[in-house]
Amino acid sequence: MSFHILVQQVVNGLVLGSVYGLIAVGYTMVYGIIGMINFAHGDVYMIAAYLTAIFLAALTLLGIQSPPLLILLVLLLTMAFTALYGWSMERIAYKPLRHSTRLAPLISAIGMSLILQNYVRLSQGARSQGTPTLIQGSVRLFENGPDQFVQITYAQILIVVTAVIGMSLLWYWIQSTAMGRACRAVQQDRIMAALLGVDTDRVISVVFVLGASMAAVAGTLVTFNYGSFDFFIGFVIGIKAFTAAVLGGIGSLPGAMLGGLVLGLAESIFSGFVNTDYKDVFAFSLLVGVLIFRPSGLLGRPEVEKV
């Protein structure tokens, strides 16, 4: 009996962890490049959920029936529009504060978060919204009697597969393209990058656009899976993803991915074996524990400068 629960919770944890990882990437990249925590990033995820519903309705009205095509188009459109939100957010709320104190953009980010939430509440209503489930069906593994099996839905498979593809593309982009190299250069030494002709403002914009698109992937996939959302969903998942980024080592891209997985798995296994109500307490205790023994996170490098 406990074997099935364990495997089932590992599956659920991987799904949850993929979602955390996709959002955590946005926190960690922005922190890496301008040293601020973008508190409005969770709300970007929330915007993506609404955009998913809007595009789904619009495309269905246009007569597109095939689920795979619908999913792909909605995903791409949501990514594009959410990216636009990310870009505008940086332009409006953070760029004017670039040469100000360290605290100013942080406060601006909290303001941006409140604005996004209330803008959605006013324009879309405060009640929970829903979309029809596009992806139905599941597979059962290790079936051994009427209530002894591990169930994986197709929607869960889609989440993990898309997350892996998204992260791999992002990793490739950062490691192997000229713009990705410029990103890493700005992260390591913004002044030197500028001295070499890198337009640092443009690089920062690109990072916001990428972070928002990854959050959009998470928002779209979760909406396809759960089907219900409201204007406040960005808050808790944002805090969780931020925790994942810190857990993995903020500023480190593989760290955010690993942190997401660790957090998702821990939360899910704890829910399965101990208690569901206290899963958040467990998740944040894990963070405290890791930070006590590894203050820079699992994969974060302590800042040592060689002179």
Q: Which residues would be at the binding site for another protein (CB under 8 A)? A: 178-179, 181-182, 184-185, 188-189, 191-200, 305-307
The two tokens of residue 300 are 């974060």
Give the nearest distance from C-beta 189 to another protein in angstroms: 5
Of 121 and 184, the one with the shorter C-beta distance to another protein is 184
CB 98, min distance to another protein, A: 13
Amino acid (1-letter code) at residue 303: E
Q: Which is nearer to another protein, 62 or 195 (CB)?
A: 195
Query: Alpha-carbon distance 86 to 143, whole Å?
Result: 45
Which residue, 143 or 199, has its beta carbon nearer to another protein? 199
Q: How far is the CB of 306 from another protein (least distance, A)?
A: 6
Q: In angstroms, what is the minimal distance from the CB of 183 to another protein? A: 10
- Which is closer to another protein, CB of 134 or CB of 186? 186
For the bound state, the minimum distance from the C-beta of residue 252 to another protein, rounded and expressed in Å, comes to 10
CB of 305 to another protein, least distance (A): 8
Give the start-end residues of each E strand in 39-115. none
Nearer to another protein (CB atom), residue 127 or residue 306: 306
CB closer to another protein out of 72 and 196: 196
